Chain A
């Protein structure tokens, strides 16, 4: 059944457009003056202002490698993160620790550790799977580069971003 919508009957004044036009002009000039007086809340001016201070603890930014307070690189090159990484962004080349090293019992260390930040999807699975608490997603979110090669974070870059983290479990200390 078709519904017939009755058009509202407009008075002569309304049909002259003038009340609606003046009403509209009044609304827009209000917005204009509020903005000109700086009373309107506007979007954050990004490169000058950043939301870093308001970032939550659980924020998942760029994955990084960390060292502990003893200066030991915590990664033991077990390659679990490499296997679990959904977009296969991580490439690890394990190396063997020399026998005279303090941490010789650890046996392995990453000779090369590359994370391709073009592929990384910031899922955090590498952090979850790591048995050594070596890889953490930190708060860096603005990862940019001019070339593809620049976007691959190597070991040095990962440690630079990760830095030192204390309060971790030290299961290797008793096996020095």
Chain B
């Protein structure tokens, strides 16, 4: 069949598989966005001893669709005195970076020997940081273009929050690269399959140690001196990265750009209809992308101990993909849980934490890791 051969040419194959992967991931993520809004409302309700949305569909499960429809049907109002151009592009600027980050995340092993990552970049992590930092432009532009005091304050807060946290965010993952000696997210996941997850390196397939015993599937469970020593800087990295990610995605306790109680919603005060929905979508997509980065760097990506990868059949390929999104869902639950527990930090406290604590901790952590690695090599 000549037509099938056409689709199996390497370049054409790459194109249509990439398009397919992109649309499927986008579909999954947008569905997750919709349902994390539902989860947000449900979790907050449960934590506050309420019932939460329960009218639209069973347990309110159709609520996100109703919300989306409502926002679609509303008037797209542009207040007088705004800078129309920036006012219009700001929502897209908030949304697009969050989606772009998803392009480099390995969301599964392989399916029919097609690698389950849209773009296997060697500078994957750098791409993540470069693109996700762009998200702040959407917020700052929205705040500035709205020509209104509350959005303006939100935008200013957002930019200063950004400079206090971006450093800690970037520095806290350097130890991960020092240990794995790669920036490619797929290879970082592969390292964690071989040596155990960064946050809990208790199983690994390679490298003998004193406290190990074999299991039937051939994987090894146990701790070694090397693992235990490297575990310390990894936990510090994980905690700092996690907290910086809260700030990066504007989640409580660092949601100062929004701060409903003080800023009437902050940067999106003047927005309505689909433009507002785009901000909302962007915020939750950034949360999912951030959770994806955390999962990939520290929680072993799509891998589960003693579960084979996609080369053992399409079923396991699907299991790996499911594992990745399940881990993301768990992280998102943690995000929600924290949101409905902690009060918001005051602005000076946030800057102080960023500059005086996390920056230093992340910096010192790099030296600790270097010291441990030098000790282990010698």
Contacts and interface: CB of A to CB of B under 8 A. Distances in A.
Contact of B51 (A24, A32, A45): A45
Interface in B33-71: 43, 45-51, 54
B335 interface: no
Interface stretch (A35-43, A54-62, A108-116, A126-134): A35-43
B43 A32 contact: yes
B316 interface: no
B49 A36 contact: no
Interface residues of B, number: 14
A31 B46 CA distance: 7
Contacts, number: 35
Interface in A127-156: none
Query: For chain B, what secondary structure do more than half of its interface residues adopt (helix, strand, loop), or is it mixed?
Result: loop
A25 B46 contact: no
B342 interface: yes
A168 interface: no
Query: For chain A, what secondary structure do more than half of its interface residues adopt (helix, strand, loop), or is it mixed?
Result: helix
B51 A28 contact: no
A24 B342 contact: yes
A36 B46 contact: yes
Interface in B315-348: 337-338, 340-342
A162 B338 CA distance: 55
Instruction: Give the interface size class of chain A.
Output: 10 to 19
Contact of B49 (A24, A25, A42, A45): A42
A25 B342 CA distance: 8
Contacts of A165: none
22 contacts: A21-B341, A25-B341, A27-B341, A28-B47, A28-B340, A28-B341, A29-B337, A31-B46, A31-B47, A31-B49, A32-B47, A34-B49, A35-B46, A35-B47, A35-B49, A42-B49, A42-B50, A42-B51, A43-B50, A43-B51, A45-B51, A45-B54
Interface of B: 43, 45-51, 54, 337-338, 340-342
Closest 8 CB pairs of A and B: A35-B46, A28-B341, A24-B341, A28-B47, A32-B46, A40-B49, A32-B47, A31-B47
Interface of A: 21, 24-25, 27-29, 31-32, 34-36, 40, 42-43, 45
